Chain A
Amino acid sequence: MALKSLAAVVGIGGVLCGAVAWACADGGYETSWDAEASSGFLSPTNDTRSNFILLMADRYGTKVADPAQMAKGIVPFEFPYKVMVARLEPPAAPNTDYSATYREEQDAYGLSPDSSSYFGYDSGNLGLCHTNRSGAQQFAAELKANPRVPGQEKAALAAARAVLAKACDRAGQTQFALAEVKSLEGRAYAEYLEGTRLFYAEDLGAASSRFDAVAASSGWLAETAAYMRFRTAMAQAMKGSVGKWGEIADVEKRDRSAIDHADAIRRQYLRAYPTGRYAASARSFERRIAWLRGDQATLGAQYSTLLARAAAAGGEPDIATMQEIDRRILPSSDLAGVTDPTLLAVADLMRLRPDAQQYPELRSCCGTELSREELERQRPYFKSEPELFGYLLAAEAFFHRQQPREVISLIPDAAHQERFSYVQFSRQMLRGFALEAAGDRNARGFWLSLLGGAAQPYQRATVELAIFKHDQKAGAVGRLLETGSPILHPLIRQKIIEDDAGPDLLRAQARTGTTPQQREVALYLLLANELHHGWYREFLADQRMVGTRAQPKPGDIYGYGAWSVADYEPSYREGLSGPPLHVFANGGSNDLRACPDILSTATSLSANPAAIRPRLCLAEFIRRKGFDGWSDQYDIKLERNVARSRNGFPGKPIERMAIYQGVIASPLASADDKAFAFNRAIRCYQPAGYNSCGGQEVEKPVRKAWFDRLRKEYPGTVWAKELKYYW
């Protein structure tokens, strides 16, 4: 069960703030929040399935992530459930032939080669074909071993089954030529075979009669026909439970008698063949029947039994069961029959998601909020899991009642560990959040002490993020880039470089940053900010660090890759690319119309910052090299973009509109410069009448007046001639 939109959770106020990634750092546009979150610790804001994976890792030693996945790219802090699942598997070999895998699967279903296969269905998409191939193999073996079927009949029957084995999707059109099969036993096989065909053709009523007719025979055939009667009845029950939109209908609209009928036949089979070859399968269908009946208590008990089955340590967790529970138990949050502590914990955390009144969209899933009293009633089920229960008590205090001090007393400091389990880690994380919320002076020291034991997947990144957020609140993140910093995570380091580093720190990071990416980002931001703030001399000195750079080929519009932390999104990329430093290199800006490159422009401006043509050329560089909107930052409180100084550069950055207005007003500007300024200022509002150049907004009549002046006063200039409209 996914928690949609964590962004809204961020608003819950100081208490929860600590618990979700960048959330409280600086606003909503920074991180793209995925709907279905996962993290390295148990949390109400995690996807329920992610909490399951963490808990199963503690319980059975199953994997949380594949070591090879953890070793490459950026380790995410908070990431969609599907990323968590993808990271459980070893990285795919390059050039994996997916079509081959697909063909293999198709073969297993026994589908016709030209049919586009399992995509096709005519009636209910009941997905019955999955047993076709294995059923055919059994049929062939039993037939071969049966002495009562004459040889030539065997050949005809085997050939007929082989046709179906290769074209389950064509069962409706298939006709068997079995007229020559005349022996009693042979006829029984033929009858069964026709039943099978009708079953796969989803002609369920007719299939059922055929299987009935075979029930009187003996051995494999009789048992298999009895089981197939159940499968057919089950398919009928599924068909009768489907609504107009192809969805599983509400419980009261399902065909209850078909469901009961299927269950009766299932029990009949099990009575006749309690240790039969399909007995395990028939028993497992109890779950599906309970689900169709809306019998939550039986479901809860069944899933509790399933979860109590130990999984192989070091292997992958039983994702299929977790997902089934997620679909069938958690939506109703009806936990009748549930005795399993893991399942209870997952459901409890779901019910600790934020307040229904304030965030209705987050609670469309989660049932009523969990109270302390209710949790206490669950205590007996957690007898074997006291640490987990203690965590839940503290989570209720923190997320539901927002009582950080209670959390601190519920969870003692156990920060110094060799290696945390996920429950132990989650307990200490929660204690840390509570210390932060209570304003405890030792909060930072506490976070630092967690690092030693944060050895399992995603744990270290989680602690580093907490340290970063602590220092950010304290206005002291700069120290996290110093030698000996506990922060190793490339994304945190880069975020500090992007948001918090002033000129000196940027310059230092450009030289000594821990990775090429961090050095490049620091240099890019340093140079861009120097230009935007009029520090031309410094720009020219620092520009030497750029060195020689390859320039993108003409037409390569994707030269500006995902380089910023804001571009990182674990669903789509493992890392970030370098910033477009090439724009500052020699040859990176000699394509500016009517202007020299940025180095000449900066040189002119360092001699005279008010020089008119160089100022226009600076604006041209800003326009052409991707710096429009440079000073925009989204302010979540104001719900709009604001211009503010970045990275400790004092003053407001230079904006294009201000340059144009200055030139328009200047008595010193030449006719050509004025015409150019008019042209560009008007184009700032292209195409939709909104200013893309920063600075003051100008009303439409003013833009019209500019256009009229350009046409009237400077008619001979190229700038007047090329501009046909204003916006």
Chain B
Amino acid sequence: MRAERYDSFWLWAGVSPSPALQKASEVYVLDGEIRLGAPRFIPLRSSAPRTRGPAIWLVIRTDTTAWPEGAVAGITRRADGWARNGNRVVGVQIDFDAGTKRLDDYAAFLEQARHDLPRRYQLSITGLMDWSANGDPAALARLKGVVDEVVVQTYQGRSTIWGYERYFDRMKGFPIPFKVGLVEQGRWIEPQGLRSEPNFRGYVVFLVNRPS
């Protein structure tokens, strides 16, 4: 797939902003992470963005649900800071990058996050296809009412996961607005019926660095 054909992107730390961003309508910008072991916020971006125009999501990568007290309030302040910089901040995305089968725990964690995050910010999460028992999207569907959207990642590292078609078969009637995350230069053939899903909201492309 080619990034130029899309208009929503993830911009990760260490990835140089590519020309595709110039006409982006929506950008998920990784701000920092909260890591298992010593959970505290670690900024991963040298500075706050200064953008005009695209909808901006402030992304927090984490592998733990044991966030320190006040973490969401802190993230809110960062989002507010970005907004003061002129960015059109629409929400916060939690990129949980641990393959968890304990979605119960995760649901409770997200409920708390939604409670702590002011309503002016939407809450987005990423979902891995192999999450939950047997990779069943029904488990993710239980987050309806807690999160505003789910972005389903179809890749690991820089490759599209084989067999994603089967996963989307089971996403029929998914009750939460969802987007599909693609990796730039990954393999992607749109599964039949995806576009007619009422809650499908398009694609988000994970930008990668070009070969030097």
Enumerate chain A interface residues (CB-CB to B < 8 A).
2, 4-8, 28-29, 32-35, 86, 89, 92, 98-99, 101-102, 105, 115-127, 238-239, 241-248, 250, 327, 332-333, 356, 360-365, 367, 557-558, 560-562, 569, 571-572, 626, 634, 636, 639, 641, 687-690
Interface residues of B in 156-170 (CB under 8 A from A): 156-159, 162-163, 166, 169-170
Kindly supply a per-residue 1/0 record for chain B positions 27-42, scoring 1 wherever the CB is within 8 Å of any chain A CB and 0 otherwise: 1010000001111110
A561-B29 in contact given A4-B158, A35-B158, A101-B38 (Cβ < 8 Å): no
Complex Cα spacing A367 to B212, Å: 6
Contact assessment for A246 and B170 in the assembled complex, using a CB-CB cutoff below 8 Å: no
A/B interface sample: 24 pairs, CB < 8 A: A5-B156, A35-B158, A86-B37, A92-B37, A98-B39, A116-B70, A116-B71, A117-B70, A118-B40, A119-B41, A120-B81, A121-B78, A125-B46, A242-B46, A243-B17, A245-B17, A246-B46, A247-B17, A361-B158, A361-B208, A560-B133, A561-B101, A569-B99, A626-B134
Total residue contacts A-B, CB cutoff 8 A: 170
Given A247-B46, A688-B170, A690-B166: 15 more A-B contacts, CB < 8 Å:
A4-B157, A32-B130, A89-B37, A117-B70, A121-B48, A122-B84, A245-B45, A245-B51, A332-B212, A367-B212, A561-B101, A569-B99, A626-B134, A687-B170, A687-B173
A116, A246, A332: which contacts B73 (Cβ < 8 A)? Answer: A116
Contact assessment for A98 and B38 in the assembled complex, using a CB-CB cutoff below 8 Å: yes
B49, CB-defined interface residue at 8 Å:
yes
| Residues of B in contact, count (CB < 8 Å) | 64
* Chain B residues, Cβ within 8 Å of A6: 157
Kindly supply a per-residue 1/0 record for chain B positions 60-94, scoring 1 wherever the CB is within 8 Å of any chain A CB and 0 otherwise: 00010010111101111110010010000000000
Give 3 nearest A-B pairs by CB, closest first.
A119-B74, A116-B74, A35-B157
B19, CB-defined interface residue at 8 Å:
no
Complex Cα spacing A364 to B157, Å: 13
Q: How far is the CB of B103 from chain A (nearest CB, A)?
A: 8
Contact assessment for B70 and A361 in the assembled complex, using a CB-CB cutoff below 8 Å: no
Contact assessment for B162 and A28 in the assembled complex, using a CB-CB cutoff below 8 Å: yes
* Chain A residues, Cβ within 8 Å of B39: 98, 102
Residue of B nearest to A360 (CB): B211
Contact assessment for A121 and B81 in the assembled complex, using a CB-CB cutoff below 8 Å: yes
* Chain A residues, Cβ within 8 Å of B199: none
Complex Cα spacing A281 to B14, Å: 26
Kindly supply a per-residue 1/0 record for chain B positions 162-185, scoring 1 wherever the CB is within 8 Å of any chain A CB and 0 otherwise: 110010011011000000000001
Contact assessment for B17 and A572 in the assembled complex, using a CB-CB cutoff below 8 Å: no
* Chain B residues, Cβ within 8 Å of A125: 43, 45-48
* Chain B residues, Cβ within 8 Å of A242: 46-47
Complex Cα spacing A238 to B47, Å: 9
B40, B48, B68, B163: which contacts A29 (Cβ < 8 A)? Answer: B163
Contact assessment for A105 and B77 in the assembled complex, using a CB-CB cutoff below 8 Å: no
Complex Cα spacing A125 to B176, Å: 34
B50, B66, B77, B193: which contacts A120 (Cβ < 8 A)? Answer: B77
B25, CB-defined interface residue at 8 Å:
no
Complex Cα spacing A367 to B209, Å: 13
A365-B209 in contact given A32-B156, A98-B39, A119-B75 (Cβ < 8 Å): yes
* Chain B residues, Cβ within 8 Å of A572: 98-100
A246-B81 in contact given A364-B210, A560-B134 (Cβ < 8 Å): no
* Chain B residues, Cβ within 8 Å of A248: 46
Contact assessment for B40 and A690 in the assembled complex, using a CB-CB cutoff below 8 Å: no
* Chain A residues, Cβ within 8 Å of B37: 86, 89, 92
* Chain B residues, Cβ within 8 Å of A364: 208-212
Q: How far is the CB of A580 from chain B (nearest CB, A)?
A: 11
* Chain B residues, Cβ within 8 Å of A571: 63, 98-99
Complex Cα spacing A56 to B36, Å: 25
* Chain B residues, Cβ within 8 Å of A115: 77
Q: How far is the CB of A280 from chain B (nearest CB, A)?
A: 24
B130, B134, B163: which contacts A641 (Cβ < 8 A)? Answer: B163
Complex Cα spacing A641 to B164, Å: 12
A5-B157 in contact given A124-B48, A356-B211 (Cβ < 8 Å): yes
A34-B48 in contact given A99-B68, A361-B185, A364-B209 (Cβ < 8 Å): no
Complex Cα spacing A126 to B43, Å: 10
Contact assessment for B163 and A634 in the assembled complex, using a CB-CB cutoff below 8 Å: yes
Contact assessment for B133 and A557 in the assembled complex, using a CB-CB cutoff below 8 Å: yes
Q: How far is the CB of A603 from chain B (nearest CB, A)?
A: 30
B14, B49, B66: which contacts A244 (Cβ < 8 A)? Answer: B49
B112, CB-defined interface residue at 8 Å:
no
* Chain B residues, Cβ within 8 Å of A4: 157-159, 208
The residue in B46, B66, B172 that gathers the most chain A C-beta atoms within 10 A of its C-beta is: B46
The residue in B50, B66, B77, B98 that gathers the most chain A C-beta atoms within 10 A of its C-beta is: B77
Contact assessment for B159 and A361 in the assembled complex, using a CB-CB cutoff below 8 Å: yes
Contact assessment for B41 and A118 in the assembled complex, using a CB-CB cutoff below 8 Å: yes
Contact assessment for B101 and A244 in the assembled complex, using a CB-CB cutoff below 8 Å: no
Residue of B nearest to A692 (CB): B169
Complex Cα spacing A48 to B73, Å: 36
Contact assessment for B158 and A5 in the assembled complex, using a CB-CB cutoff below 8 Å: yes
* Chain B residues, Cβ within 8 Å of A118: 40-41, 74
Contact assessment for B16 and A247 in the assembled complex, using a CB-CB cutoff below 8 Å: yes
A562-B70 in contact given A32-B130, A105-B40, A118-B41 (Cβ < 8 Å): no
Q: How far is the CB of B97 from chain A (nearest CB, A)?
A: 8
B66, B68, B74, B193: which contacts A688 (Cβ < 8 A)? Answer: B193
Complex Cα spacing A86 to B166, Å: 34
Q: How far is the CB of A2 from chain B (nearest CB, A)?
A: 8
Contact assessment for B17 and A116 in the assembled complex, using a CB-CB cutoff below 8 Å: no
Q: How far is the CB of B136 from chain A (nearest CB, A)?
A: 9
Contact assessment for A246 and B157 in the assembled complex, using a CB-CB cutoff below 8 Å: no
* Chain B residues, Cβ within 8 Å of A120: 74, 77-78, 81
B21, CB-defined interface residue at 8 Å:
yes
Contact assessment for B45 and A246 in the assembled complex, using a CB-CB cutoff below 8 Å: yes
Complex Cα spacing A28 to B27, Å: 31
* Chain A residues, Cβ within 8 Å of B104: 558
Q: How far is the CB of A5 from chain B (nearest CB, A)?
A: 4
Q: How far is the CB of B132 from chain A (nearest CB, A)?
A: 8
A119-B49 in contact given A5-B158, A364-B210, A636-B162 (Cβ < 8 Å): no
Contact assessment for A98 and B133 in the assembled complex, using a CB-CB cutoff below 8 Å: no
B11, CB-defined interface residue at 8 Å:
yes
The residue in B17, B68, B170 that gathers the most chain A C-beta atoms within 10 A of its C-beta is: B68
Complex Cα spacing A124 to B156, Å: 32
* Chain A residues, Cβ within 8 Å of B70: 116-117
Complex Cα spacing A33 to B17, Å: 26
